Structure 1
Amino acid sequence: MHQPPSDGLSPSLEHIAAVGTDVRYPCDVWPRHLAGPGDARHLTHPLAASGWTRTSDPLAPGLVLLSPDQQTSVSINPQSPDRSYWCFIGRDGTPEEWWAEFGQGTPVEILAGLADALIAPTPEPAPTVPDVLRRHGWTWAGDDDCLISASPDGLATVTRDGKADVRAVEPWHIKVRAATNRTLWHGWLDSTTPAHLVAALAESLASPTPVVRSTANMLAPGAQQARSSMTSAQLADAHLQRVEAAARSGPTAPSPTPASALPPPPVPGQRRTR
């Protein structure tokens, strides 16, 4: 049976259900790069279920998770002093050091593409970023010295500077702007980031699948929305399936948790006890 991490971080059924019930009047939002940050638990719950442990102050607003091999970390800092980033992912202390940094406003579903790849088997062969983006209708121009790709709406770009030294800090740069030309968020990945992780991030960035947000959210100019066909219970069940899949990929095998074990969503207006 799967044992929760020693720090008690393994998500409870109540917390998993809250991922669904915390979305008020669900709506589908697309393109996903304009959807706003979303719920960080979409990123952190699967990592915790697969054996990642918290190393940060449990009473601080930020969160640092450390991989079972103690080499890779994910840091979420909603109060970054200069507001330049809210998520930092990297591997430190080994010859295979790498890092990726994402600014305020990065949709968590896009970050989850990279995070999920950290706990999944490495695909062989790993797809390339150009192949991934072209498959989703992104344009790709340039040569080996400078490559740039743009989303179908022209509001997101992925750039790689092929002339950069291997120690350069920004060989991969993601930039997303609103239809008003205001920059919404950036992403940076250094040149030593494993190719399959960059490709996984590109897949989650370019995916045409809408993400779910509350209708009360302020969306960026250019974003589209429609009432979602998913209920709060279905959102919670989908999240539970992601958490269970992550637990199966962790260092120990879990016993399956039935979706029927999820607590019922609260009555509208009723305060939920956490």
Structure 2
Amino acid sequence: MPVSERQLAEFADKHAWQVPLDTSPRHLAGPGDARHVTHGLAAAGWTRISDLFNTHMTLASPDHRHLLEFTPETGSLARWWHLSTRLSGRDEPYWNASFGALTPAEVIGGMTDALTTPPPTAQPDPWHPLEAAGWLRDEHGAARSADGMCHIEQHRHSKSRDMPDWSVYVREPSVNGYLGPLLWHARFRYNTPAHLVDAFLTALTDTAPLQRGKFDRTAHPSAVQTASLLSPAQVVTAHTHRIKPITAQTRTTPHPHQPGTSRTPAPPTGAAPPNPAPASPQPPHLRPAH
């Protein structure tokens, strides 16, 4: 179901009183508003399948092939977001991606938006957005941001060398050659489609600042914050304008049939209809994510 007017109004109420600050670089901007992720998925037809009164939120895609879990009650260094395929015996191999508490929601939203649209005919090279952003590569092939605090690593896996693991580490600055404490970590296990990794890294390396309220948490005090040219109303409008095209596309896209069912072809003209099969149980009505 699409995002309701009430849900958009609640988002507006949250941001209407905040004076937005342009915050960069993105890997230090902090978590932001989780609804940058959940509203996009709800607009694409994802539904909540967890207890409405539980802070642990689980969303399922319309075809029930993918799950997103949000567990904000865990520790700040633990994964707060977990995106995965369901083990349903389909042709798509199992994969999962996880993101720490301080991962910007807008960056995760770049990946989830890519998941709700048809994949490209040819998978991209996720190194390209890093190279385009001027991130440096070290002798081991890993990339790092200009401030040295964000590191991107690729790990080839014996089971799937064409679809390797990817890891993103954001740490405090190194001291005397020792790695600084971990701020947040993202992990894409092998078999994660390259276009989803590419979408995440493209959003992460975008030089456009993210908007944060004055008292919003950033990942590190060295994040640069300046008064934004956007008003609070414009921040809300930008969010709404992102959601509406997703909703419109979802309404015009044929809804996939539920897993475990099949379509029965129509009988030829004049033929007697086949004996009706027992109806497959339909999943219960699910409320959209807040």
TM-score class, shorter: 0.7 to 0.9
Distance, in Å, in 2 between the alignment partners of 1:179 and 1:221 is: 12
Alignment coverage as a number of residue pairs: 242
Distance, in Å, in 1 between the alignment partners of 2:45 and 2:137 is: 38
Structure 1 counterpart of 2:241 = 241
Structure 2 counterpart of 1:84 = 78
| 1:1-274 pair list within 5 angstroms | 5=1, 10-23=2-15, 24-80=18-74, 84-93=78-87, 94=90, 95-142=92-139, 147-162=141-156, 164-166=157-159, 171-179=165-173, 181-219=180-218, 220-250=220-250, 252=252
Distance, in Å, in 2 between the alignment partners of 1:115 and 1:18 is: 22
Q: Secondary structure at the match of 2:117?
A: coil
Cα gap change, 1:18 to 1:234, in 2 (>3 Å): farther
The Cα shift of 1:84 comes to 1.4
Contact 1:126–1:199 (Cα < 8 Å) also in 2? no
Q: Secondary structure at the match of 2:79?
A: coil
Instruction: For residues 143-180 of structure 1, give each alpha carbon's deviation from its aligned partner in whole angstroms, at most 9, with x where no partner exists.
Output: xxx53111122110110123x32369982110001347
Distance, in Å, in 1 between the alignment partners of 2:81 and 2:71 is: 6
Unaligned 5+ segments in structure 1 are: 254-273
Larger deviation, residues 78-87 vs 113-122 = 78-87
Contact 2:172–2:183 (Cα < 8 Å) also in 1? yes
TM-score by length of 2: 0.77
The Cα shift of 1:221 comes to 2.5
Larger deviation, residues 215-224 vs 40-49 = 215-224
Query: What letter corresponds to residue 197 of structure 1 in structure 2?
Result: L
Task: Kindly report the root-mean-square deviation, in angstroms, between the aligned alpha carbons of the 2 structures.
Answer: 2.3
Q: Secondary structure at the match of 1:79?
A: coil
Q: Secondary structure at the match of 2:130?
A: helix
Distance, in Å, in 1 between the alignment partners of 2:183 and 2:77 is: 12
Distance, in Å, in 1 between the alignment partners of 2:32 and 2:106 is: 8
Structure 1 counterpart of 2:286 = none
Query: What letter corresponds to residue 133 of structure 2 in structure 1?
Result: H
Instruction: For residues 13-47 of structure 1, give each alpha carbon's deviation from its aligned partner in whole angstroms, at most 9, with x where no partner exists.
Output: 24224334423111010001101111000100011
Distance, in Å, in 1 between the alignment partners of 2:217 and 2:83 is: 27
Unaligned 5+ segments in structure 2 are: 175-179, 254-289
TM-score by length of 1: 0.81
Q: Secondary structure at the match of 1:187?
A: strand
Q: Secondary structure at the match of 2:229?
A: coil
Contact 2:43–2:244 (Cα < 8 Å) also in 1? yes
Contact 1:21–1:233 (Cα < 8 Å) also in 2? no
Distance, in Å, in 2 between the alignment partners of 1:147 and 1:191 is: 18
Cα gap change, 1:232 to 1:20, in 2 (>3 Å): farther
Cα gap change, 1:96 to 1:222, in 2 (>3 Å): same
Distance, in Å, in 1 between the alignment partners of 2:35 and 2:144 is: 29
